[in-house]
Amino acid sequence: MEPDDALEFATWRDDARAWCAGRSWHWRAAVLLLLAWQAIIPFRNREGFHVFRGIMFGAHEFGHLFFAVFGGEWLSIAGGSLMQLAVPIGAAAIMRHYRDWFGVAACGLWLASSFADLAPYIADARAMELDLVSFSPDGGEHDWNYLLGHAGMLMRDQAVARIDRFAGFVVLVASLLLALWLLRQMANRTEPEFG
């Protein structure tokens, strides 16, 4: 780690510790259990309902429309998956801006579930067996069949899906560790810090 990176990390850590002072960890622990349970569902069952699914579906479909504005069929098709990941990242950035560190961790759980939700879709690129939801009268196209096909990687759909799922797992673990660290800081810092 470079000296500037270490300094920035220390600054964020100190800011998060100060934010924890005087905050209640009790209800946040309950929220963490609920969100962690929901984030794990798509890792265990690709068709399992979870609280993030509807939001991600809306973000995915909106992404196709949003990125179509910038032109090009490839970007329009990739836009669904890009937006599905960009929305929780954007929400985490907003939480960070407002110094809500627990909110950052919660958005990380949302992002992890979004990665996990994409993995079966990516893995289906060759087989194209999943039922697709489309607003197109012709039924639409399988995003990942198109994307991987145009990238010359269609035969690697399973490997790309595993990488996506692994990225989601890393984000899940990192978010849980951050949230648990924050809860511990809250439990240990009952008095607000000033200065």
CA-nearest of 123, 114, 113, 108 to 181 is 108
pTM higher than 0.85 for the full model? Answer: yes
User: If you ran DSSP here, which 8-state letter would residue 156 be given?
Assistant: G
Q: What is the pLDDT of residues 108-156, one digit of tens each?
A: 999 999 999 999 999 999 999 987 776 555 556 899 999 999 999 999 9
Q: What is the pLDDT of residues 7-51, one digit of tens each?
A: 677 789 999 999 999 999 999 999 999 999 999 999 999 888 899
Mean pLDDT of the chain: 91
Residue 85 carries which side chain, given as an amino acid letter?
Answer: L
What residue has token string 């069952």? 45
CA gap 5, 121 in Å, rounded: 36
Tokens representing residue 83 in the block: 């937006």
Tokens representing residue 42 in the block: 């798509």
Tokens representing residue 98 in the block: 């407002």
Task: Determine contact, residues 53/117, Cβ cutoff 8 Å.
Answer: yes
User: If you ran DSSP here, which 8-state letter would residue 155 be given?
Assistant: G
CA-nearest of 36, 23, 41 to 176 is 36
